Amino acid sequence: MSKKNQNEAPGQEQEVLEEQTDQTAETAQQPEAQTEAPDPLLTELESLKDQVAQQEDKYLRLAAEYDNYRKRTAKEKEAMWSDAKADTAGAFLPVYDNLERALKQETADEAFKKGVEMTMNQLKEVLSKLGITEIPALGQTFDPNLHNAVMHIDDENFGENEVAEVFQAGFQCGEKVIRFAMVKVAN
């Protein structure tokens, strides 16, 4: 080979090396480009995951609020129904009292007495169907949550704070007192 060819050969080798270096640099840049491309996709994916989590949280909160609303309205309806029953029963209690007084009166007319008894039994049955019960009083220990003491006596025949006499029957609807029993308490 001549000097010229020898000089060209190293130059050509340099060009080939430069081309290889350029190709290597391009190849090295390509993976960087590929890793950069998924970054926006990953970012968008993470953003969508956050949005889904927020929507799921909103849904769960809404479902919980609805469940609380349903329970609260059911409880309110039950309370309104109970109050309506108590008010209605309260309106009939004077009739109950009058029938009770009529039964205590002596009468010669047995048909009249039987009619009053039947009416009283029918009223008791209606109250029972509504869940209205008479508060037990006579012989019970005085309970200020159920009884209204209007008299007090000292009598050895009765125990401490025992109801000796009932002047007016008390009624309750479940745990709610419609009318306190008016009583006389001993000792």
pLDDT digits (tens, 9 = 90+) for 154-163: 988 898 999 9
Q: Report residue 36 CA to chain centroid gap.
A: 53
**Model confidence, pTM:** 0.63
| All structural domains of the chain | 38-130 (3.90.20), 133-187 (2.30.22.10)
Amino acid 9: pLDDT: 53
Position of tokens 């080979």? 1
Average pLDDT of the segment spanning 164-172: 95
Cβ(89)–Cβ(176) below 8 Å: no
Amino acid 145: pLDDT: 95
Amino acid 13: pLDDT: 56
Nearest to 149 by CA among 187, 175, 178, 97: 187
pLDDT digits (tens, 9 = 90+) for 21-33: 555 555 545 544 4
